[in-house]
Amino acid sequence: MFKTIRARLVAIIALILLLTAVIVIYFTHRDVGREMTRVEQNNAENILNSVYLNIQGVYRGLIFDRVNRIDEAKKRLHRETRIILTGLELSADTAGEIHNEDQRSRREKSIEWLQALQSGSTDFFAADAQNNIFFASENELVGQNLETMRDIRGEPLSDAVNLEDRGYEQYIVFSPGTREVPGGQNLAYLSYFPGFEWILGAFVDISSIEEAEQDRMDQLIKELESQFRQARLAESGSLFIFDQDSELVIEPEDFAGSPEFGTLLQEVARQSRDQELARSRMYVGEEAMLVLTRYFRPLDWYLSAMIPEAEIQAPARGVVQRQSWIIMGIFLLGATAAIYFVRHISRPLALLAGHTRDLAGRDLTSDDFDAQQIVALTRKHHDEVGELAGSFLYMQEELKNNVRKLLETTAAKERYESELSLARDIQMSIVPRKFPAFPDIREFDLFAILEPAREVGGDLYDFFLLDEQHLCFTVGDVSDKGMPAALYMAITRTLIQSHAAKEKSPAGIMTRVNNDLSRDNPKSMFVTLIIGILNMSTGEIRYANAGHNLPILMDAQGGLSFVKGISGPVAGAMEDLPYRELLVTLNPGESLFLYTDGVTEAMNQKQELFSDERLLQTAMQAKNQELQKLLHDIREEIKTFSANFPQSDDITMFILKYHGAGDY
């Protein structure tokens, strides 16, 4: 679907526009929604705070008025009670002095004096020592007992009278009615008249205070209802007040009749009691509501504002809808412009692509190639398209030049590879490759393998007879690789054969070869080398080791061990170096195994070396086989270890097995 650049560019531009639209709409909806919620919450909080302060002010005024009116009533009761007590004292004393009557006559005179008083709005009663009321300005109290009358706390009035201490004065609030017919609330001032052991009470009705307070509260509720109707919370938000019993003081406009509303009030009350301003999210039916509540503790009122969340989010949805239409228009315009510009850009690219396909099928060595359309693009477009067309023209010219050079290079490389192949054939023809090498000689047997790492290499092996009883053999490894090493190897082999014809000592041959190689050696090349001479009659091998790997002795019982000893340093590094002669004797059935470091230093993909230990283990497993099979098994084990990892060095192996003199 998106195989062409045109389709991909249009898809990418459309995707960018779409992602931009989604991101803008998402963050707009989120941020506008949050802001609208914050504004509505602040509005509701301000209204609730205003209502709270209004109720608080009215409540404080009611408390202040009540305290003042109660204080005034207390002062009046105290004053009038003092007057009555003074009058009783005078009445009792005067009656006693003038008439010399008994105690009962004096009490009757005092009662008559009380009945003659004009009490006004203050009422009085008097009770005897048994708490029985025998006089009252309100006749319904006469005959009642203080023990049956209750104060505002429900306690008997007799509990407020301390008969053990007659010097008391006390204010109480009581109801003069009974349980069956309750009366209004009265504030009473109780005092003791010691002359007759009377309890004198003066009281006034304070029900009017509560009525006035209730009227003020009713007026406050009406004012709040009017204020609530004028307040606006979203479109249909409501303000309401309810008390601790979930009874509505002021009902909301739309939700009071909902069956879930009572449960909602209980949950709001539970969450709001211990918070200055509680915020909660609740449901009325399936509609989510934002509820804010303040608790007015003195009246146990909960002031609540309830706003539908859908109405809070409505402005955000409106903004998102408008933005969506605008973004859709921008998207269509952008997509149209993108398609136009992409086609404008892709047309020259298509032309360049066609030119490239034609270019691939043309003979670049020929000058007959029409590129006028590409030249026209460079003239018409002065932007990146023109630069690309110019690059195509430049590429075409460079390709022509490179193809010509490549043809020349290929021809030269073919000649070089042909020469290397010829050099390899020549090098491999230098070393003896015919086995068995000496079919008429039964005292010994030998076999050798040489595998260069490149077309030609620097390893060498050789063997030849010095006379009827002596075999000369050598194995070496030149320090370099490639053609220089191959030439150095050929020179070394030639020098060994030349000096072996004159010198019968391996150490002497090594010394002469070292001196010849060291002269005129500008590249400081050298060779590690072993030169040995086998005495076919005795199995004795005299040899010289110029820094080469230690030979391995394979005894007749199958044991393998390295033959210790180095005659001297590598050959070719410096003239006039001494080399000492080493000796090893082969018993019938024993073999001497020579090799180069391409065997032990063969590497696998883990950069691990084949190693001397692994070479001994491998030779041990193939020990009783024919010489050719033994060397081939070792070579296969090296290949398996390397796991097709490229050969980094030449590999040479040589084995000589002694059978004994006349042991056929």
- SS3 sequence of 238-256: EEEEEECCCCEEECCCCCC
DSSP code, position 188: E
| Strands in 108-164 per DSSP E | 123-127, 133-136
Q: How many other CB atoms are there within 10 angstroms of residue 277's CB atom?
A: 16
How distant is the alpha carbon of residue 472 from its chain centre? Answer: 76
DSSP string of 615-648? HHHHHHHTTTS-HHHHHHHHHHHHHHHHTTPPP-
- CA 344, CA 416: separation in Å to the nearest integer? 52
Helix residue spans in 100-134 (DSSP H) = 103-115
Q: What is the pLDDT of residue 295?
A: 86
Which pair of structure tokens corresponds to residue 447?
């076999």
- CA 523, CA 480: separation in Å to the nearest integer? 10
Q: What does the pLDDT look like over 26-56, one tens digit per residue? A: 777 677 767 777 777 788 788 888 888 888 8
Q: What is the pLDDT of residue 181?
A: 41
The CB-side HSE value for 548 (13 A sphere, CA atoms) comes to 32
DSSP code, position 557: T
The answer to whether 69 and 209 have CB atoms below 8 angstroms apart is yes
* 3-class secondary-structure state, position 467: coil
Helix residue spans in 4-156 (DSSP H) = 5-99, 103-115
**What is the sign of the dihedral through the CA atoms of 30, 32, 37 and 38?**
positive
Q: What is the pLDDT of residue 96?
A: 45
**What is the sign of the dihedral through the CA atoms of 630, 632, 636 and 642?**
positive
pLDDT lower than 50: segments of the chain? 95-100, 163-164, 166, 178-181, 664
* Sheet containing 278-284: order of strands: 248-250, 238-243, 301-308, 287-296, 278-284
- CA 305, CA 233: separation in Å to the nearest integer? 8
Q: How many other CB atoms are there within 10 angstroms of residue 191's CB atom?
A: 20
Q: In this structure, what are the phi and psi dihedrals at residue 172, rounded to the nearest 5 degrees?
A: -140, 160
Helix residue spans in 166-308 (DSSP H) = 207-230, 261-272
Which pair of structure tokens corresponds to residue 197?
């052991």
- CA 194, CA 85: separation in Å to the nearest integer? 10
CB-based contacts of 538: which residues, under 8 Å, 6+ apart? 585, 661
* Furthest-apart CA atoms within the chain: distance in Å: 192
CA-nearest of 279, 297, 298 to 289 is 279
Q: How many other CB atoms are there within 10 angstroms of residue 265's CB atom?
A: 22
- CA 99, CA 626: separation in Å to the nearest integer? 173
Helix residue spans in 276-383 (DSSP H) = 309-361, 372-380
